[in-house]
């Protein structure tokens, strides 16, 4: 079984994977946008279940040339095509900024490919509790009519552990649905 993490460059994909797996150096983190440039597969084994976590390259980083953006887009499309063991893509959105046009294009791609996805707001510790609630509700309003979107938005912080147990529980539910 496989789950994937997608999101704009520097949204915190690698940090979230490390927090989820309780392994600080599993996914390499960087302050440099666009550092992850290929699909990284991490196998989790435990409780008789095999789970592969995929760290997808960040999208939407303007300082990268157009040919590199096109290559990343092809990589993602090729990865998504015919991936029967892919149970869900977690699309990470920076809680301080919300959904951007480039995120909308990715959600459109996932909808067209009929790939189930769930929105996870990252860096939730960087905004007030009331803003977390507002951003989660506003994001839900934007995705609720999308055909492949799972109807729950999670707020997380890799640094503070906010929402990590809830995300683990969401992943466990997805795994349980498949068994």
Quote the pLDDT of residue 50.
78
First to last CA, the chain: 10
Q: Show me where the domains of the chain are located.
A: 2-178
For residues 61 and 8, is the Cβ–Cβ distance under 8 A? yes
- Per-residue pLDDT tens listing for the chain (179 residues): 899 999 998 899 989 998 998 876 666 555 555 555 678 888 876 654 678 999 988 887 655 567 776 777 788 788 888 788 999 999 999 999 999 988 998 899 899 889 999 999 999 999 999 999 999 999 999 999 999 999 999 999 999 999 999 999 999 999 898 76
Helix then strand then coil, in percent of the chain rounded to 5, is 40, 25, 40
Quote the pLDDT of residue 23.
74
Out of 3.40.50.300, 3.40.718.10, 2.60.40.1190, 3.30.70.1380, which CATH number does the structure's domain 2-178 have? 3.40.50.300
- φ, ψ (nearest 5 deg) of residue 49: -120, 140
- φ, ψ (nearest 5 deg) of residue 144: -60, -25
Return the exposure string of 121-158: e unless at least 16 CB atoms fall within 10 Å of the residue's CB, then b. bbbbbebeeeebeebbeebeebbeebebbbeebbbbbb
Whose CA is closest to 47, among 176, 164, 161, 165? Answer: 176
């Amino acid at each position: 079984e496989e789950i994937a993490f997608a999101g704009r460059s520097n949204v915190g994909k690698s940090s979230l994977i490390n927090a989820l797996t309780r392994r600080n150096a599993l996914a390499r983190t960087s302050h440099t946008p666009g550092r992850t440039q290929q699909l990284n597969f991490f196998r989790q084994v435990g409780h008789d279940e095999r789970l592969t976590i995929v760290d997808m390259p960040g999208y939407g980083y303007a300082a990268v040339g157009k040919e590199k953006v096109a290559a990343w887009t092809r990589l993602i499309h090729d990865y998504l095509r015919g991936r029967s063991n892919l149970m869900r893509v977690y699309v990470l959105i920076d809680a301080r900024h919300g959904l951007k046009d480039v995120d909308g294009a990715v959600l459109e791609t996932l909808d067209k490919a009929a790939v189930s996805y769930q929105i996870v707001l990252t860096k939730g510790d960087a905004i007030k509790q009331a803003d977390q609630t507002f951003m989660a509700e506003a994001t839900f309003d934007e995705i609720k009519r999308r055909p492949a979107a799972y109807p729950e938005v999670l707020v997380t912080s890799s640094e503070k552990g906010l929402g990590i147990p809830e995300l683990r529980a969401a992943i466990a539910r997805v795994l349980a649905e498949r068994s």
